[in-house]
Amino acid sequence: MNRRDLLGSALALSPLAAIADGPTAFASPQPLAPIRAQPDRIIDISACTRPFRPQGPRIEAERRHGKAIVHHYGHGGSGWSLSWGSAQRALALIQATREKEIAIVGCGAIGMTTARVAQRAGLKVRIYCKDRPPEVRSSAATGVWSPDSRLVLQEHATPAFGDAWEAMARHSFKTWQSLLGLAGEPVAWHDGYVLSDVPFDQPIAGWEDREPEYAELESRIRELWPRSQALGPGEHPFAGKAPHARRYTQMMFNLASYSRLLLEDFFREGGRLVQREFESPRQLAGLPERTIVNCTGYGARALFGDDSIVPVRGQTARLIPQPEVNYGIAWRGHNVVAVPRRDGIIVQAQGENDYGNEDARPDRASSEAAVTRLAALFS
């Protein structure tokens, strides 16, 4: 299924894009604990702008103001998912400077992961940042494995880019699996249901032109996780609400506990963090480190004048946690996705004008409407 056809639920759940049936069928459904989807159970609403670059992430080095600057930003909706493999790619540029002490600007998904990868390589790292988790934009993400979500336009997805992406995705996936079972459950697998009013091979009317054509790359790595399967009316609990359904298995990240784990590991291995805001690249000249890694994400648009970055707005609402709810929901055509995280049930919905929209102010009305639509599945 083309991701454009899935837009009626959400772009974030990119592993749902591949729907080839697996080898086994599902048994009759067991009763599911219902999601208490009530607007008055919303405990947090977060909005952010994804740093999308049409040509893909910027991972390159330059000399400026007497410093070696390694740029590492612009991952769109794939920052958390690709962070480990992308940081490994940036590490080669960092090591080429032969400096043993480096500075990283930015403390989001890419900045924190790059710091940990550099530490593992034996480097001393100092992070400079305006905000730290949970105030960074990355903390507002849905937190699902989506390695090619809003990453690159189809026209820029050359074979060389595809090869680089595959290497990053495979490295990241392997690292994520090493974090399973840790305290706080920073990464977990869960099952879920994607529902639709029309067959999955039919597009959702009205969603065709809201965003450009992003590259579909997941076919390169589809063997890494189970395929979704079509379900009959007696094989899922939502038959009375949606005539078409598939069951999927997806990796997700508990961002609160995972961010805390990254920072604790960073400090335990001698990392230092300085709270500081930069308004001009010239200010980097005053830093003691001679190699600086720019992991500012969307902030690189203002700091380095990178007008190639396009803001793509996203918003999530968090419902009071329900430990008994261990499944996800994506209701295609109704613009609602629910993800069962430990810190609450995340409810995401797309706006009509998210692409190119840099407004990061939360809109409570749109989140309440998404929660109300979700409630219809359990009425």
pLDDT digits (tens, 9 = 90+) for 226-248: 999 999 988 888 988 999 999 99
22 vs 51 pLDDT, higher one:
51
| Predicted pLDDT of residue 46 | 94
Residue 377 is classified by DSSP as G
| DSSP SS3 for 67 | strand
Q: Order of strands across the sheet with 187-196?
A: 42-52, 310-319, 344-348, 336-341, 327-332, 187-196, 244-253, 229-231
| Predicted pLDDT of residue 205 | 72
Q: How far apart are CA 124 and CA 281, in angstroms?
A: 22
| Predicted pLDDT of residue 239 | 87
Q: 374: pLDDT confidence band, cut at 50, 70 and 90?
A: very high
Mean pLDDT of the chain: 91
| Predicted pLDDT of residue 204 | 79
Q: What topology does CATH give the domain 3-51+189-253+310-378?
A: D-Amino Acid Oxidase; Chain A, domain 2 (3.30.9)
Q: 298: pLDDT confidence band, cut at 50, 70 and 90?
A: very high
pLDDT at 150 over 60: yes
Q: 8: pLDDT confidence band, cut at 50, 70 and 90?
A: very low
Give the pLDDT confidence of 194-215 residue by residue, as tens digits: 999 999 988 877 655 678 999 9
116 φ, ψ to 5°?
Answer: -70, -40
pTM of the model: 0.91
Q: How far apart are CA 341 and CA 311, in angstroms?
A: 26
Interval 27-51 mean pLDDT: 89
The structural domains of the chain, with segments of one domain joined by +, span 3-51+189-253+310-378
- Residue burial 18-45, b: 16+ Cβ < 10 Å; e: rest: ebeeeeeeeeebeebeebebebebbeeb
Interval 305-334 mean pLDDT: 95
Interval 29-48 mean pLDDT: 91
| Predicted pLDDT of residue 101 | 98
| Predicted pLDDT of residue 370 | 97
Q: 45 has which bridge partners?
A: 317
pLDDT at 265 over 90: yes
Q: Which of 352, 359, 315, 304 is nearest to 53 (CA)?
A: 304
